[in-house]
């Protein structure tokens, strides 16, 4: 209950600062619209925003599921094979040196202007955080527990399944929370490069028509969707005893 009160208090304080900035600077509405004007634009275009939000939400959800599955499988494989770890982990780290956003035009060229390129973009963004976080959890099992399991003739896969994976669940929960925050970024970047639907596309459309209030309304919708997704992942993590 306290968290909800603090959240609404922070939102209210932010709106007050926003409105104060509009009044103090006298900036034109097409540059910085007031909160009331943005709320009006959201209400007047709620059907359009909702339709595009569903598209972006579908891309984000698919990206999180696919990226999480690949990340978990990769982390387990790396934890069970030292040779594979020495071979693959440097490659994964090197891929992070390449700006993922720069790959958006290439992905659009390869996968088209539909949802596929946006899903792949989201997967690429969240894959490494999930893999890295889960792998770190798998390798942080206390030595005495691992040694006891080996003493009792536990196989490598039995140790992974019954000891390492349960022990690494909090780390997986952390990785998925990061994924919930990062995945919408990938989807929207993909929509900016080329799309006909989605909140990113709607923001570009509103910007081209100088409808700044609609652009802000779409941006706030995206932020609210990201926060909701994060909270859902957090609740799921607690229910599954990840945290």
Q: Give the rounded distance of the alpha carbon of 187 from its chain centre.
A: 9
> 120 and 172, same structural domain?
yes
> 138 and 95, same structural domain?
yes
* Sequence-distant (≥ 6) Cβ neighbours of residue 29 within 8 angstroms: 37, 212, 213
Task: Check residue 242 and give its pLDDT.
Answer: 47
Q: Taking the model in full, what pTM does it have?
A: 0.81
> 39 and 18, same structural domain?
no
* Residue 108 tokens, joined: 């659009």
Per-residue burial over 129-166, b if 16 or more Cβ lie within 10 Å, else e, is: bbbbbbbbbbeebeeeeeeebeeeebeeeebbeebbbe
Q: Where are the beta strands (DSSP E) in the chain?
A: none
> 204 and 124, same structural domain?
yes
The DSSP symbol for 102 reads G
> 189 and 157, same structural domain?
yes
| Residue 2: count of CB within 10 angstroms of its CB | 6
> 146 and 79, same structural domain?
yes
* Sequence-distant (≥ 6) Cβ neighbours of residue 79 within 8 angstroms: 85, 135, 138, 139, 160, 164
Q: 3-state DSSP: the chain helix, strand, coil percent, rounded to 5?
A: 85, 0, 15
Cα(203)–Cα(174) distance, integer angstroms: 30
> 55 and 7, same structural domain?
no
Task: Check residue 243 and give its pLDDT.
Answer: 45
Cα(190)–Cα(116) distance, integer angstroms: 10
| Residue 21: count of CB within 10 angstroms of its CB | 12
Q: Give the rounded distance of the alpha carbon of 57 from its chain centre.
A: 11
> 24 and 38, same structural domain?
no
> 62 and 180, same structural domain?
yes
Task: Check residue 66 and give its pLDDT.
Answer: 92
Task: Check residue 3 and give its pLDDT.
Answer: 64
Domain containing residue 115: CATH number: 1.10.3720.10
> 125 and 166, same structural domain?
yes
> 44 and 6, same structural domain?
no
Task: Check residue 107 and give its pLDDT.
Answer: 81
Domain that holds residue 107: 33-239
Q: Report which of 72, 92, 87, 63 is spatially closest to residue 190, judged by C-alpha positions.
A: 63
Q: What is the mean pLDDT of each run of 10 residues along the chain (243 residues)?
A: 65 75 76 84 89 90 90 86 77 74 80 83 86 84 60 63 76 85 85 81 85 89 88 78 50
Domain count, the chain: 2
Rounded percentage of the chain residues whose pLDDT exceeds 90: 5
Task: Check residue 7 and give its pLDDT.
Answer: 64
* Residue 146 tokens, joined: 């691992």
């Amino acid at each position: 209950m306290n968290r909800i009160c603090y959240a609404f208090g922070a939102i209210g304080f932010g709106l007050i600062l926003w409105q104060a900035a509009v009044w103090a600077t006298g900036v034109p509405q097409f540059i910085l619209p007031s909160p009331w004007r943005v709320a009006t634009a959201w209400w007047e275009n709620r059907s359009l925003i909702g339709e595009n939000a569903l598209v972006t939400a579908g891309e984000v959800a698919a990206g999180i599921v696919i990226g999480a599955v690949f990340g978990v499988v990769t982390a387990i494989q790396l934890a069970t094979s030292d040779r594979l770890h020495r071979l693959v982990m440097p490659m994964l780290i090197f891929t992070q040196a390449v700006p993922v956003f720069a790959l958006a035009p290439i992905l659009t060229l390869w996968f088209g202007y539909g949802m596929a390129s946006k899903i792949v973009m989201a997967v690429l963004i969240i894959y490494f955080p999930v893999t890295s976080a889960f792998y770190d959890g798998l390798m942080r099992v206390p030595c005495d527990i691992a040694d006891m399991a080996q003493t009792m003739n536990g196989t490598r896969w039995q140790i992974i399944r019954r000891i390492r994976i349960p022990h690494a669940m909090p780390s997986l929960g952390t990785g998925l929370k990061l994924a919930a925050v990062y995945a919408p970024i990938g989807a929207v970047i993909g929509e900016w490069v080329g799309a006909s639907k989605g909140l990113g596309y709607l923001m570009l459309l509103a910007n081209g028509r100088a409808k700044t209030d609609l652009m802000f309304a779409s941006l706030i919708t995206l932020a609210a969707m990201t926060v909701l997704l994060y909270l859902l992942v957090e609740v799921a993590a607690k229910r599954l005893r990840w945290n």
